[in-house]
Amino acid sequence: MPAPVWQTQPELTTETMKSLTISDVTLTFGGINALSNVTITIEPGLITSIIGPNGAGKTSLLNCISGFYHPTSGKIMYGNKQLTHSSPHQVTKLGISRAFQNLELFSGLSVVDNLMLARHTNLKYNFFQAMIYVGKASRIEAENRAYVEEIIDFMELEPYRNSIVGNLAYGIQKRVEVARALTLNPQLLLLDEPMAGMNIEEKEDVVRFIMDIKKERNTTVILVEHDLGVVMDISDRINVLDFGEVIGSGTPEEVASNPKVIEAYIGED
């Protein structure tokens, strides 16, 4: 059996993988700062979590990284590439993909069709080649379908591959959302509350997938998640936001003992 696509590509190491550097990023809406002078470094090959109370600016930060928002000031660098004013499709081309908090799937299409649509940027053939569907178009389509099938297997979605997404249980739809992001073969994966609304068993499955994504695919993960138990268990680094400002950064142990974090977030429970 042929090796999966990500195993046939050059091996990624912490020396060849890229860091994401967020420097003094401020994001303002109508005079209100959603983010204020946020400075964070995301080291390659790690799971880095962004936590904080509701309205702390976590999703706004992901929107700035992925190109949906452009910071009012500051700079975002991925390796030697600046993302500060990049569009979402430019960010995607650099090897960054995102799974959204609110499902961004085509509910009337099957799982496999949703994942194939996510690979559209890899369908590099012209209109004429697509019309006759032989040669280059046929080969590229087959390669992309093979990759999608690998992702379906990796995310254990085989029983649902031909099911209409809108008919699936919410937990499975969330898994498809993560699979959709993985079809882009990212080096950096942004996960915005991938376990929101799930029961304990479903959360355990997602945790396992996140760990496998890091270990087997050498993918850097940025995780926004409200479940502190999950965050503390699987994160290598944690950054804490409160009212758009970073109030704590470090290992799970360091963050858990930070008085500002305890007061602003953990102390709410």
What order of strands is seen across the sheet that includes strand 47-51?
Answer: 96-99, 188-192, 220-224, 47-51, 237-242, 245-250
Q: What is the mean pLDDT of residues 138-151?
A: 78
Q: Which domain holds residue 69?
A: 1-95+187-269
**What is the structure's pLDDT at 116?**
86
How confident is the model at residue 67, as a pLDDT? Answer: 94
**Residue at which a domain ends, from 184, 202, 226:** 184
Residues 159 and 269 in one domain: no
Q: Which residue has the tokens 């799930």?
A: 198
67 with 195, same domain? yes
**pLDDT for the residue numbered 138:** 64
- Is 213 in a helix, a strand, or coil? helix
- Predicted pLDDT at 48: 97
Look at residue 9 in the predicted model and tell me its pLDDT. 46
Final residue in a domain of this structure, among 184, 208, 228: 184
Lowest mean pLDDT among 54-68, 122-136, 239-253: 122-136
What residues contact residue 162 under an 8 Å CB cut-off, 6+ apart? 110, 111, 112
* Segment 73-122, tens digit of pLDDT: 999 999 999 999 999 989 998 999 999 877 778 889 999 989 988 776 65
Residue 176 pLDDT more than 60? yes
Domain boundary residue, one of 158, 184, 210? 184
- State whether 13 and 140 are in the same domain: no
Arithmetic mean of pLDDT over the chain: 85
CA proximity to 178, closest of 91, 101, 89: 101
**Domain co-membership, 156 together with 130:** yes
C-beta of residue 83 within 8 angstroms of C-beta of residue 91:
yes
Total domains, the chain: 2
Residues 213, 130 share a domain: no
